[in-house]
Amino acid sequence: MYRAHPNDGIAWVTGASSGIGRAVALELAQRGFKVAATARRAAELEALAAESHSIFSFPGDTTDRAAMAAMVSGIEASHGPIALAFLNAGVSFIAERDGFSAGLVWRTFEINVGGTVNCLDPVLAAMKRRGKGQIALTSSLAGYGGIAGSSGYGSAKAALIYMAEALRLSCEQAGLTIQVVNPGFVHTAMTAQIDFEMPFIMGADRAARIICDGFEKNGFEIMFPRRLAYHFKAMCLLPYALFSRSCGARRNGRGGNLRGVRSNGNPKGAEPERRVSRRRVARERAFDFAAAKQQVRSRDLNWLGAGAKDDCDAARSQALDGVRDRLSPGARHQNDRRSAERL
Ligand SMILES: NC(=O)c1ccc[n+]([C@@H]2O[C@H](COP(=O)([O-])OP(=O)(O)OC[C@H]3O[C@@H](n4cnc5c(N)ncnc54)[C@H](OP(=O)(O)O)[C@@H]3O)[C@@H](O)[C@H]2O)c1
């Protein structure tokens, strides 16, 4: 099975302006690859490129199909063939947890599925012509099975898992390697929106090392942390009645997390309410989650009223910048320390 090597060509990383994509771009550069980094925020990409002479900024919006076709041609014209494509750009709207919204679901699909498809199309064609290439799609453990409050995000990620499975079967004979990356919780701007306990959360640098190790190995699925992934996979084998009891909506209607999974790795039963609320109180002492969440949520909802997608993206990134800035001094440090102790 083909595995991309730095001598074979450049690596293309989408969603490289922050979080997992940014960390993977840096890790690939460290492993000897030249990297073409794509996202909408050009300034963030320039800052990334300034960190390594092997990283090159190729700003663009993955939902623009023609622009992605032109981008693949542009990258290959200036840096040679794309040997590895890590199609990772994605969004998650916290307002989804307030209830079903057609606007949010469509926008989530437009970016997470449509954007990935727009990148896949030209890069697959180029790799098929050469008879070799490696492509990895970022999905999520959330794509395994329905989680309350995640009807748009989770179903878009499920679609990506299916797409990778199907492509893998049809592309293998053409010499192409297709993989799917299913992360659990990783510290990024995306998870800064979340205010429930995130089992086994890890830093983006560690996630990037696991992902890049996975690129070098033979497996189809790169999933982590394994304990959470296997737990969720096992839950998906349960009859629906038992599955919903394990990861359905909680009594207070917030939902969205896996009740059977405890952060200490002991998968026994649901957590007592008292334990969760004590942790929340400790966390809120360091960071005003309620205010930040409200900020992100109201901006998402404003967009729905106005109906303008640019407003939504600008508001989201502005709000997330605010969350990230406010998270760094207190809660982030506390969260990182707690995760380090656990792992
Ligand atoms: N963090 C987690 O716990 C977790 C868990 C499972 C899966 N994931 C997946 O991992 C991927 C990366 O997320 P993250 O956690 O690293 O969050 P993040 O820091 O918010 O990164 C998302 C990236 O996607 C880019 N992006 C969003 N819309 C785009 C568009 N239309 N065109 C081009 N780029 C776009 C963003 O850049 P711009 O805003 O500059 O465009 C950003 O670079 C996502 O697919 C996410 O679903 C994350």
Instruction: Determine if the pTM surpasses 0.75.
Output: yes
**pLDDT for res 89:** 98
Q: Residue 84 is which amino acid?
A: L
Tokens linked to 279: 């942790």
Q: How far is the CA of 321 from the centre of ligand 1 (A)?
A: 13
Answer whether 190's CB lies under 8 Å from 20's CB. no
Q: How far is the CA of 19 from the centre of ligand 1 (A)?
A: 7
Residue 135: phi and psi, rounded to 5, are -130, 135
Which residues sit opposite 222 in a β-bridge?
A: 181
Cβ–ligand 1 distance for 211 under 6 Å, the answer no
Q: How far is the CA of 2 from the centre of ligand 1 (A)?
A: 27
Q: What is residue 207's three-state secondary structure?
A: helix
Cβ–ligand 1 distance for 19 under 6 Å, the answer yes
Return d(Cα 156, Cα 262) in angstroms, integer. Answer: 26
Q: What structural domains does the chain harbor?
A: 6-342 (3.40.50.720)
HEC string of 7-54 equals: HHCEEEEECCCCHHHHHHHHHHHHCCCCEEEECCCHHHHHHHHCCCCC
String of b and e for 159-188 (b: at least 16 CB within 10 Å)? Answer: bbbebbeebbeebeeeebbbbbbbbbbbbb
Answer whether 235's CB lies under 8 Å from 260's CB. yes
Answer whether 138's CB lies under 8 Å from 183's CB. yes
- pLDDT tens track of the chain, all 343 residues? 899 999 999 999 999 999 999 999 999 999 999 999 999 999 999 999 999 999 999 999 999 999 999 999 999 999 999 999 999 999 999 999 889 999 999 999 999 999 999 999 999 999 999 999 999 999 999 999 998 889 999 999 999 999 999 999 999 999 999 999 999 999 999 999 888 889 999 999 999 999 999 999 989 999 999 999 999 999 999 888 888 777 654 444 444 445 545 444 433 333 334 455 555 555 544 444 455 455 445 544 444 444 445 544 555 555 555 555 555 455 555 555 554 554 3
Ligand 1 atom with the smallest distance to the CA of 112 is 45
Return d(Cα 219, Cα 121) in angstroms, integer. Answer: 23
Cβ–ligand 1 distance for 167 under 6 Å, the answer no
**pLDDT for res 148:** 86
Ligand 1 atom with the smallest distance to the CA of 138 is 45
Answer whether 151's CB lies under 8 Å from 100's CB. yes
Angle between helices 151-171 and 102-109 (to 10 degrees): 30
